């Protein structure tokens, strides 16, 4: 793994880009890595475009600058690609994962990116299991499958810690299930 692995998540407020970024960072933290996770704050309102960053490193992270050259970009909302250049600065060997049923070729056209592109219907997964459009957890499952940036078990344990006190055992189980479905279903 390169010295600092950087992930950028684009979504709409309410879809969990910020918490997704934090869950990923905490999973890496559990594995003994140095981490940073922070969102760009605008005028927060549900549905507005949001972006959140995760940095994972073997050495201490000192810089507080945003992620300009991500290794992976996760897009939680397909439609956002019409107004936001989600692939800006994405490394050629980097990967783009989009929450959609649309095929990779169409995504690449919209995103202006020719590198490795993957799709996962994370909204349907979260609607099926939680009856809400919170695609962040299945998206993280897909990221883990494709990059191995953290272990599945690390993220499971972070989900448990975060959601058990707030949401209870049932929702924790469903979140872990979503993580696994994302992991299993991601397609090129």
Partner 1 sequence: MGIRKAITGAQAAAEAMRQINPDVVVAYPITPQTPIVEQFAAYVADGIVDTEMIPVESEHSAMSATVGAEAAGARAMSATSSQGLALMWEIVAATPGLRLPIVMPLVNRTISAPLNIHCDHSDVMGVTTLGWIQIFSENAQEVYENILLAIRVAEDRRIQLPVMVNQDGFITSHAVEPVEIFDDAAVQSFVGIRSLERSLLDTEHVRTIGAMALPDYLFEAKRAQEEAMGNVFQVYKEVGRELSSITGHAYPYFETYRLDDAEAAIVVLNSAAGTAKVAVDAMRGRGKKVGLLKPILFRPFPYEEVRAALENIPAIGILDRSMSFGACAPVYTEIRSVLYELDTRPKVQSYVFGLGGRDILSTEVEAVFEELLTGELDSKRQRYIGLRG
Q: Which is nearer to partner 1, 88 or 146 (CB)?
A: 88
| Least spacing, CB of residue 79 vs partner 1, in Å | 26
Q: Which is nearer to partner 1, 40 or 169 (CB)?
A: 40
Choosing from 45, 62, 166, 188, the residue that interacts with partner 1 (CB under 8 A) is 62
Choosing from 66, 79, 148, 168, the residue that interacts with partner 1 (CB under 8 A) is 66
When asked if residue 48 is in the footprint of partner 1 (CB under 8 A), the reply is: no
| Least spacing, CB of residue 48 vs partner 1, in Å | 14
| Least spacing, CB of residue 78 vs partner 1, in Å | 27
Choosing from 64, 82, 166, 188, the residue that interacts with partner 1 (CB under 8 A) is 64
When asked if residue 112 is in the footprint of partner 1 (CB under 8 A), the reply is: no
| Least spacing, CB of residue 53 vs partner 1, in Å | 9
Token pair of 162, please?
């975060």
When asked if residue 68 is in the footprint of partner 1 (CB under 8 A), the reply is: yes
When asked if residue 59 is in the footprint of partner 1 (CB under 8 A), the reply is: no
When asked if residue 38 is in the footprint of partner 1 (CB under 8 A), the reply is: yes
SS3 labels along the chain: CCCEEEEEEEEECCCCHHHHHHHHHHHHHHCCCEEEEEEECCCCCCCCEEEEEEEEECCCCCCCCCCCCCCEEEECCHHHHHCCCCCCCCCCCCEEEEECCCCHHHHHHHHCCCCCEEEECHHHHHHHHHCCCCCHHHHHHHHHHHHCCCCHHHHHHHHHHHHHHHHCHHHHHHHHHHHHHHHHHCEC
- Interatomic CA distance for residues 109 and 174, integer angstroms: 34
Choosing from 1, 2, 31, 41, the residue that interacts with partner 1 (CB under 8 A) is 41
In 3D space, the residue among 117, 2, 114 whose CA is nearest the CA of residue 55 turns out to be 2
Binding positions for partner 1, rule: CB under 8 A: 22, 25-26, 29, 34-39, 41, 61-66, 68
């Amino acid at each position: 793994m390169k010295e600092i692995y950087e992930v950028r998540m684009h979504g709409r407020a309410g879809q969990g880009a910020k918490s997704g970024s934090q869950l990923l960072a905490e999973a890496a933290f559990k594995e003994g890595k140095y981490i940073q996770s922070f969102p760009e704050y605008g005028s927060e309102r549900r549905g507005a475009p949001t972006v959140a960053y995760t940095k994972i490193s073997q050495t201490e992270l000192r810089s507080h600058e945003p992620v300009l050259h991500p290794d992976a970009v996760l897009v939680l909302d397909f439609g956002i690609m019409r107004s936001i250049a989600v692939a800006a600065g994405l490394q050629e060997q980097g990967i783009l994962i989009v929450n959609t049923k649309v095929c990779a070729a169409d995504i690449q056209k919209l995103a202006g990116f020719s590198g490795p592109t993957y799709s996962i219907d994370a909204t349907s997964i979260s609607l099926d299991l939680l009856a809400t459009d919170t695609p962040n957890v299945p998206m993280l499952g897909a990221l883990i499958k494709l990059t191995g940036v953290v272990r599945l078990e690390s993220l499971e344990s972070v989900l448990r810690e975060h959601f058990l006190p707030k949401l209870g055992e049932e929702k924790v189980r469903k979140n872990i299930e979503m993580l696994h479905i994302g992991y299993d279903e991601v397609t090129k």
